[in-house]
Amino acid sequence: MTGIDTRDIAAPRRAWLGLAVLILPVLLVSMDMSVLYLAMPALTDALAPSATQQLWILDIYGFLIAGLLITMGNLGDRIGRRNILLAGAAVFGVASVLAAFAPSAGVLIAARALMGLGGATLLPSSLSLISSLFPDPRTRGTAIGVWTAFFAGGSAVGPIVGGILLHQFWWGTVFLINTPVLLVLFAVGPFVLPEHRSSGRGPLDLVSVVMSIGGILPLVYGVKRAAAEGIDVAAAFSAVFGVVVLVLFVRRQRHLADPLLDLSLFRRGLFSVAIGSSTIGMMSLAGLSYLTSVYLQSVTGRDALGAALLGIPQAVVVFACSMNGAKIARRLGARTTFVLALGAAAVGNLMLFGLGVDGGIGWYVAGSTVAGLGYGVVFTLVSEVSVSSVPAERAGSAVGISETSFELGNALGLALLGSLAALVFRSGGEFASTLGETIDRAGSDGALVHAARESFVTGMHTATTVGAVLLVAMAAVASVAGRGRTRPEVELDSRVPVDSAAH
């Protein structure tokens, strides 16, 4: 009698409904990483925050997400992923309302911190619940592609949604739109999402929790401060302190029976490739997105909404490629797909050489679209490998590691590539610290404005080229990492090996 291949059986309708519910908080968390950029001018007029408060309004959300992801992923494995998802959504919703009606900058910073706390529970719990909803590797790969598409798409759509809302309403609406979406999650989630908690796992090691947060937060703060104000004593001390604490944290994990960070995952070549690819990929994407946003507004003279609309082709491509990343990997092998996708992202970055002071918008659309093709596939594979690399009871902790690498990559991209572009810009003449400030001070001095814009474009070309070089280097690492190992690597589908070299 011929056995039935369960991989060819469609997942139950309830599982797909559950996925639709899981997408909702993911979309909100990713949108809230970018939607605030356009609201800052109106928000500044209303609340009059100081320069330091403006930085904290923008950064505290990402800081807490980065610092808490590993802890929240582990906590969800122990107390239940649906429980922590709904609890985190409640915190996120209350904080969103508080942010929308914040009477002062201090209250808004506190609300953004609470949103970061809630967001840190939503990402790992929602992605790890997919392994419970879709035990079959093939349908799970499709589901993770959908999850990644909405996560990546939310970040790209955030500025567009923000631009539309700010065109009609007050700045608080960029936060208030979260509440009706979360109400749908509360109404439907308890009935379609399975509860999953690990059995036989010990309590969280609180010392490790403190050390992970105490290492990641200063490191992220240090690199972000370096990006905003240059490398100074505070930035250097904070980053070095964070690195030292993280080294001690890793040493502690080696001696724990049930560690917060499972170091054995990194002995799997494909998992290490995934974490490296997410870090380098987000690093280059953050640099590209930030610098081209400044280019479109301060060099070409477009408003925020006009600049955001030019990003629609990239958003569409990232969405489509995220949806189909797992299928590409099953056909070509995960390792080969990593190499090709990283290469495509590098080519897209290099195409930005076509941008100039007096033209090049077509090159921007084409380059960002090609880069989006690579980024979409890479980020889907990272999520798939993270979920597939461990037993279901440890999926939350593995996902926490991968999502943390995304956050660190984003911070490093803004700090290192942003600082490199700023250094090249300032070396081009007697300019202020930023292009926007230089243009404001120049007044009617057209020659100075043109020279400043040319210098900025040179800095942008330099930074995106370095991003492309890093992507190529990571592709080279992906092509050779783990070769010759006797232990099989993670497979995205049990019928199709990751790569012949992965065994």
Q: pTM, whole model, 2 decimals? A: 0.75
Assigned token pair, 377: 């596939």
Rounded average pLDDT over 372-387: 83
User: What residues does 496 pair with on adjacent strands?
Assistant: 493
3-state SS of 243-306?
A: HHHHHHHHHHHCCCCCCCCCHHHHHCHHHHHHHHHHHHHHHHHHHHHHHHHHHHHHHCCCCHHH
Average pLDDT, the chain: 78
Residue 159: predicted pLDDT: 66
The answer as to CATH 3.40.50.300 being correct for domain 264-498 is no
Which residues make Cβ contacts (< 8 Å) with residue 273, sequence separation at least 6? 335, 338, 385, 477, 478, 481, 482
What percent of the chain stands above pLDDT 90?
Answer: 11
Residue 389: predicted pLDDT: 64
pLDDT at 80 over 80: no
Are 145 and 324 spatial neighbours (Cβ–Cβ below 8 Å)? yes
Q: Taking the CB of residue 255, how many other CB atoms lie within 10 A of it?
A: 7
Rounded average pLDDT over 429-440: 77
Assigned token pair, 192: 């379609």
What percent of the chain stands above pLDDT 70?
Answer: 82
pLDDT at 383 over 50: yes
Q: How confident is the model at residue 172 (pLDDT cuts 50, 70, 90)?
A: confident
What digits encode the pLDDT tens for the residues 314-360? 888 887 887 777 778 778 887 888 899 999 999 999 999 999 888 88
Which residues make Cβ contacts (< 8 Å) with residue 395, sequence separation at least 6? 77, 127, 128, 131, 386, 387
Assigned token pair, 429: 């003449």
Long-range contacts of 361-366, Cβ-Cβ distance < 8 Å, separation of 24 or more: 361/300, 361/310, 364/292, 364/295, 364/296, 364/310, 365/310, 365/313, 365/314
CA–CA gap between residue 452 and residue 293 (Å, rounded) = 16
Would you call 100 helix, strand, or coil by DSSP?
Answer: helix
Instruction: Specify the higher pLDDT residue, 482 or 310.
Output: 310
Lowest mean pLDDT among 241-245, 279-283, 445-449: 445-449
Are 341 and 377 spatial neighbours (Cβ–Cβ below 8 Å)? yes
Are 478 and 329 spatial neighbours (Cβ–Cβ below 8 Å)? no
Rounded average pLDDT over 198-218: 77
Residue 255: predicted pLDDT: 81
Q: How confident is the model at residue 170 (pLDDT cuts 50, 70, 90)?
A: confident
Residue 412: predicted pLDDT: 76
Closest to 405 (Cα-Cα) out of 280, 317, 264:
280
Residue 471: predicted pLDDT: 95
pLDDT at 473 over 90: yes
Q: Which of 135-144, 315-324, 446-455, 463-472 has the highest mean pLDDT?
A: 463-472
Which residues make Cβ contacts (< 8 Å) with residue 276, sequence separation at least 6? 474, 477, 478
pLDDT at 104 over 50: yes
The single-letter DSSP state of residue 8 is G
Q: How confident is the model at residue 422 (pLDDT cuts 50, 70, 90)?
A: confident
Lowest mean pLDDT among 159-168, 218-227, 360-369, 402-411: 159-168
pLDDT at 52 over 80: no
CA–CA gap between residue 214 and residue 37 (Å, rounded) = 27
pLDDT at 128 over 90: no
CA–CA gap between residue 70 and residue 124 (Å, rounded) = 8
Lowest mean pLDDT among 24-33, 34-43, 372-381, 420-429: 34-43
CA–CA gap between residue 197 and residue 74 (Å, rounded) = 10
Which residues make Cβ contacts (< 8 Å) with residue 414, sequence separation at least 6? 223, 224, 227, 286, 287, 290
User: What residues does 359 pair with on adjacent strands?
Assistant: 356
Is 13-201's fold the same as 264-498's?
Answer: yes
For 113-150, letters b (16+ CB in 10 Å) and e give: bbbbbbbbbbbbbbbbbbbbbbebbbbbbbbbbbbbbb
Total residue length of the chain = 503
pLDDT at 466 over 90: yes
Instruction: Specify the higher pLDDT residue, 55 or 92.
Output: 92
Q: Which of 24-28, 324-328, 392-396, 460-464 has the highest mean pLDDT?
A: 460-464
Are 374 and 383 spatial neighbours (Cβ–Cβ below 8 Å)? no
Are 278 and 471 spatial neighbours (Cβ–Cβ below 8 Å)? no
Q: How confident is the model at residue 365 (pLDDT cuts 50, 70, 90)?
A: very high
What are the Cα distances from residue 459, in Å, to 209, 411, 413, 484? 39, 19, 14, 41
13-201 to CATH, choices 1.20.1250.20, 2.60.120.260, 3.40.630.30, 3.40.50.300: 1.20.1250.20
For 318-328, letters b (16+ CB in 10 Å) and e give: bbbbbbbbbbb
Lowest mean pLDDT among 9-13, 26-30, 102-106, 453-457: 9-13
Rounded average pLDDT over 92-116: 89
Rounded average pLDDT over 68-83: 78
H or E stretch at 164: helix 137-168
Q: Domain spans of the chain?
A: 13-201, 205-259, 264-498
- Token look-up 């690498």 returns 405
Rounded average pLDDT over 218-243: 79
Instruction: Specify the higher pLDDT residue, 201 or 292.
Output: 292
Rounded average pLDDT over 365-391: 82
80: left (phi over 0), alpha (psi -120 to 50) or beta: left
Closest to 145 (Cα-Cα) out of 134, 158, 160, 155:
134
Instruction: Specify the higher pLDDT residue, 314 or 9.
Output: 314
Rounded average pLDDT over 236-249: 89
Assigned token pair, 249: 């944290």
CA–CA gap between residue 280 and residue 471 (Å, rounded) = 6
